[in-house]
Structure 1
Amino acid sequence: MSISKATVTDTEELTALVNSAYRGETSKLGWTSESHLLDGQRVDDLMLLSYLQDENISILKYVDNQSRITGCVYLEIKGDKLYLGMLTVSPLEQGQGIGKKLLAAAEEYGQILGLTAIIITVITTRDELLAWYERHGYQKTGEIRPLPNDERFGIAKQHIDLFVMEKPIL
C-alpha cells in the first residue's frame, strides 16, 4: 500500500472512485456520502484530467496491495497555502485509516513546498465531518462560502454553505 502522485493515466479510475464515495447508492455504504444533499456527479473525466494537467494542482492517490486506487486527495497551491479538497476513500475501505494517511501526506506535501497552512471547505451541516477535521487540527476560520452553483460538481437539493477551515503547517 502506498501514496503517490496521480497521473493522467489514473483519470478514469479516480473519477469512478470519487463519484462512488460522494454520490449514488454505493456512497451510502460509507459515511462521506453527499447524495442526500446533492444529485449528479462529483467530478467527471474532463474535470479530473484538467486537474492532473495543472501545475498548481496535485492529486495524491492511495493504492492498495492489489494495485487498486482506494483513496485520493486534491491539493492546489493558492498563494502561501494549500487548498485540500476531494478527500476520498472508497466506501468499502472507510474506517481503515486511509483518510488519515492521505491527510498526513497532504501536510507533508505542504511542508516540502514551504507553505504556511492547509485550507479546506466543509458543508456546514456535515457535523460528523466537521468533527473529524477538528480532531485532526483544523479550525473554522469564521468564513462561510456558498456552494459553487456549478452542475459539474453536483446539483444541490437545498441551499448549501461551506465552512472554511484551516490548519497551520508545522
Structure 2
Amino acid sequence: MITIATLEDISALEKLVNSAYRGETSKQGWTTEAELLSGKRITEDELSEIIKNKENTILKFTDNKTIIGCVLLVNKGNKIYLGMLTVSPNLQNSGIGKQLLKAAEVHALSLNLHKIVMTVISIREELIAWYKRHGFVDTGAREPFPLNGTDAVTHGQPLEFIVLEKTI
C-alpha cells in the first residue's frame, strides 16, 4: 500500500534509506552507493525537516506494517522533483520501484504538474538506464554533487548529477 509518510515514520524511513544507499546492507541491492560514498545518506533531523515542509511529500510503500519503499516528491511550482526513490535492498527488482514511480506520476498530475525532474549521479549508468526505460530523458544539464562533510568520495572519482526529466 502506498500512502503519505508522516513524522511518525521518520525512524523507519531513516533506516530504510540508509540501508538501501550506504553501508554493507546496501550491497544486497543494485542501487547502492557504498562503493562511491561513505556516511549516512540522510538523518532523522533531515527527514523531519523534509516532512514539515509543505512543498514536500514522501510517499511510503508499506507491507505488513513495514515501510519497504519510499520516494520524495517536491513541488517546484511548474514540475515535481523526484528524489530518494528507495526500495529495501532485498526487495529490489520486485516491482516496488515501478509502483512508486507510478504513484509519483499520479501525485504530480493531482497537482496539475506534467513534468517530473530528478538527478542521478552521472557514473551510475545502470540506474540512469533504469530511469530511461521508465520514460525519463537526459536533459543535458549537469549539477555539482554536494559533499557535506559526512560523505567522502571513495575512489577519487569526481561526481556530478545528471538531470533527467519525464513529461507525463
Tell me the TM-score normalised to structure 1 length.
Answer: 0.95
Tell whether 2:149 aligns with 1:151: yes
For 2:90, the equivalent position in structure 1 comes to 92
For 1:120, the equivalent position in structure 2 comes to 118
Displacement of 1:116 in angstroms is: 2.4
Q: 1:81 and 1:39 mapped to 2: Cα distance?
A: 31
Q: 1:89 and 1:156 mapped to 2: Cα distance?
A: 23
Q: Give CA-to-partner distance per residue, 1:140-164, whole Å, 9 cap, x none.
A: 0000111112236x33223211100
Gapped regions of structure 2 (runs ≥ 5): none
Tell whether 2:17 aligns with 1:18: yes
Q: 1:95 and 1:134 mapped to 2: Cα distance?
A: 16
Q: 2:94 and 2:164 mapped to 1: Cα distance?
A: 24
Which residue identity does 2:40 align to in structure 1? Q
Q: 2:106 and 2:145 mapped to 1: Cα distance?
A: 28
Q: 1:124 and 1:54 mapped to 2: Cα distance?
A: 28
Tell me the TM-score normalised to structure 2 length.
Answer: 0.96
For 1:63, the equivalent position in structure 2 comes to 62
Displacement of 1:15 in angstroms is: 0.2
Aligned length: 166
Q: 2:117 and 2:13 mapped to 1: Cα distance?
A: 22
Q: Give CA-to-partner distance per residue, 1:12-67, whole Å, 9 cap, x none.
A: 00000000000000000000100101000000000001001000000000001x21
Greater Cα offset, 156-165 or 130-139: 156-165
For 1:163, the equivalent position in structure 2 comes to 162
What is the SS of the residue equivalent to 1:110? helix
Which residue identity does 1:69 align to in structure 2? I
Displacement of 1:92 in angstroms is: 1.1
Tell whether 2:29 aligns with 1:39: no
What is the SS of the residue equivalent to 2:93? coil
Which residue identity does 1:140 align to in structure 2? D
